[in-house]
Chain A
């Protein structure tokens, strides 16, 4: 049954490159450019140690993104579970032989580069869930037992990531999965049930949290209670932001950042530095560019004609959104301090690569928007 848009037949790589949404890439480049400028400032007007390396990684990421985009979406569909279990295996490997970094086991040393499987998992989980829901009818989705497998797909990496322990990534994975469940058509009351269950489990979860995690939450509730300890970061961040005012202190002139009152200014608190140096104007501009990228995500999703592509697109877009929201809300003291970087701006290799791959999938879905995807990744309908 072939109805609707014309099947253009298999596209050549050249045709696919023509189809790539280059204006979205332009905004990605703009965001990375802003990020490198901030890293240059964070390095006290120096390309070292951060800005240069970030640019190199972006270059690699850009290549990966294009490669992902032009690869046939059915291939990705076919290998979605394989990739998922591969990364899950890496997460287990981190448990076993992970290098201790930042007090948590997050890295795996592949000799050439250090890999953070939990970051990549954010993408592969989207792939696996999209594949799972791609072939599912609304009827099937309505059956509670049908949801057991996707819930297990989510639970496995979340538990592993929590064990590292990396609360921020665990929350991100859960919320991204929630987005896909939601878009796939899972009934709203089921979400209510889960939220209720989580609230009920809170006291139990509290006892399982690490001391520093508990402290972070307590500090978030009352940052002034411990101005020299855990509350220090968030207080200094708010001071930096607030003192930036409407138009900021000028590029390279943020006193809080450059006199080191601001912690981790090249990673988690880079937005604070931007808002200190460029003020609310700079902050809103960045937020605006992020909004444009998100709008691209939604617009693409609505134009894709296969469920797999749609779910991938909004899944990655959702991940992207959660990155932005959690990070900015955190540095402004709206949510507790969790280690979530600002996408495309914060310094960090794996996060950059996984994001670029993620955008690769969005572009891939866009390029193959009219391709019919079978239940298991084969062409045509079945």
Chain B
């Protein structure tokens, strides 16, 4: 037994040693694995642990405001009160919703959406019940808070346009970021990924978006495995967007819109002739910018896009119109500069001109008789311009047009600007494959045919004529960044390459249009001394008048359907001496320029002179005072 036991013990001891050795080896394996995870790969796991627990939440910065040149807000941010429901804070979601429904109406559809969202989300995630609450509703909910467990009022920000539809084309609107926007935006701004973030989609909101947007802040939140926020670890405030001040004077802008409002479709642009600053830029009809902010229904979208008056188009920069007689200054200057006519040389108008088999009519059926340059502008004699355009040729006319800013985009800070067209013989050959016809020069000579301009270009043309400077239209007056206003530098405009005498001849003609009895816009003159304007009417024919019509009777505008009526145009600058402001007005299918467009332009221009947004008079006074001081 003893021997037996001792041999068993020996075997036991030996095997116990093996067992112990194996256990030590396996413990070594555990220690090695610990070293691998906690030392060698530790940094990787530390990163993963932080990724687990730290949730970076972007804080969207407040969007910069848009103001007029005097600081009057045009686009601002308003507090947007929302009611949220946090399911875990109420014992009975349905009962809470019912109680809330007695205070603010919740539609059946909304009710279902809320319940669906609550079911989908974790119980501590707030679900939006209603947005854009007014103060009455907010206070009603606050007062009843004890009966509304789980209901929270939250303040966000939303864009507000005090001017509503009337500012829509100029200011544009903001809306949620689309997939296309993300592709197009090269800034790769993380804000674009933020749900509910809105960017400028049109107008100044779009063009100045990066400036207005600001920089995203962020908040590092510690979250648990369920995503519940435990605490904030760090917070970096964003940088609010800069405020943008426009050159626009809200007073004039409102007046321009008011004057155009009863027209179905029209545009007007008021400019400072020396700086190119846009004082007003109006296009009617407008659209409601808030509708895009909150989202359009399909029906609303269909209505807007099918509207024959194209409310979404900013006609001041995107509307292309034959300039009609407002183009005659360009034709006159081209002819004078190339010496094909002298100011005194007269042309006989008998109501029409013949070229080959074609007959070109003057607007005055029985003709103007003998007219010189001044008279031709004054009475807008078509025959005279047929004659001189035939002499100078289309290429020279177009070249002159380009010098005055026509035929290409002006580069204004607004989206979708169009360049219009200054046709040349080479252009036609290339584009249409057929040579230029002489008759087409005649048609272009009265601003019809291929010639196309935007209302903005017409205002630029008039400004350049009045100032002799190659000014460019500007919209940004200054930028307010961190409470400091930085005015935008106005680059010195170069002189336009045309002799001042020649320019003066044409300006005299415009003066005659408005301030002599036979002038086409005499009835739309400014009577206040010192404020007189010099203008030019234009009536652009939309539909060709057939020979048969001419033989029987040309229908009056009112007798024709709206689409076939003439466009009414008027361009002007004022005062006649030392011009300060220029205007162009286009009323689509409005009828005659002198009757429809000129009075509107007169009223706006007169008010602009009185308000003097650029402060010319003040500056003159300062200069005057200094001179007085010197004399004294």
Contact = CB atoms under 8 A, between A and B. Distances in A.
Nearest to A298: B20
Interface string A214-256: 0000000000000000000000101111111110000000011
B223 interface: yes
Nearest to A254: B49
A260 B45 CA distance: 16
Interface stretch (B33-41, B118-126, B239-247, B600-608): B33-41
A290 B31 CA distance: 13
Interface string A314-356: 1000100100010011001010000000000000000000000
Interface string A40-61: 0000000000000000000000
A264 B30 CA distance: 21
Contact of B49 (A138, A243, A287, A307): A243
Interface in A259-287: 259-261, 275, 279-280, 283-284, 287
Contact of B19 (A182, A239, A242, A279): A182
Given A137-B4, A301-B16, A239 B38 contact: no
A334 B29 contact: yes
B545 to A, nearest CB: 76
Contact of A261 (B8, B20, B46, B52): B52
B1 interface: yes
Contacts of B27: 287, 290-291, 325
Contacts of A171: none
B52 A329 contact: no
A301 B7 CA distance: 16
Contacts of A256: 49, 52-53
B44 interface: yes
A369 interface: no
Nearest to B40: A242
Contacts of B429: none
B89 to A, nearest CB: 20
Nearest to A307: B8
A302 interface: yes
A40 B122 CA distance: 28
A208 interface: no
Interface string B210-229: 00000000000011111000
Interface in B1-41: 1-2, 4-5, 7-9, 11-13, 15-16, 19-20, 23-24, 26-27, 29-31, 33-35, 37-39, 41
B432 interface: no
Interface residues on A, range: 35 or more
B434 interface: no
A3 interface: yes
A241 B37 contact: yes
A275 B35 CA distance: 11
Contacts of B554: none
Interface residues of B, number: 43
Contacts of A122: none
A183 B38 contact: no
Given A138-B7, A245-B46, A318 B19 contact: yes
B42 A242 contact: yes
B45 A1 contact: no
Contacts of A137: 4, 8
B302 to A, nearest CB: 44
B38 A242 contact: yes
B230 interface: yes
B48 interface: yes
B38 A1 contact: no
Contacts of A3: 2
Contacts of A259: 52-53, 222-225, 230
A147 interface: no
A261 B225 contact: yes
B8 A241 contact: no
B38 A275 contact: yes
A334 B37 CA distance: 11
Contacts of A275: 34, 38
A183 B8 CA distance: 9
A245 B38 contact: yes
Interface string B370-397: 0000000000000000000000000000
Given A241-B37, A256-B49, A275-B38, A302 B13 contact: yes
A174 to B, nearest CB: 16
Contacts of A314: 16, 19
A329 B11 CA distance: 30
Contact of B38 (A236, A280, A321, A329): A280
Contacts of A244: 38, 42
Interface string B133-165: 000000000000000000000000000000000
B23 to A, nearest CB: 5
Given A138-B7, A138-B8, A298-B16, A334 B33 contact: yes
B38 A261 contact: no
A196 interface: no
B41 A242 contact: yes
A329 B29 CA distance: 9
B428 to A, nearest CB: 67
A157 B529 CA distance: 117
B33 A239 contact: no
Contacts of A328: 30
B45 A239 contact: yes
A243 B30 contact: no
11 contacts: A138-B4, A138-B7, A138-B8, A184-B12, A239-B45, A241-B34, A245-B46, A275-B38, A283-B38, A332-B33, A332-B37
The 3 tightest CB contacts between A and B, nearest first, are A242-B45, A243-B49, A259-B224
Given A242-B42, A259-B222, A260-B224, 13 more contacts: A185-B12, A185-B15, A238-B45, A239-B48, A239-B52, A245-B39, A255-B52, A256-B49, A259-B230, A261-B53, A287-B31, A287-B34, A294-B23
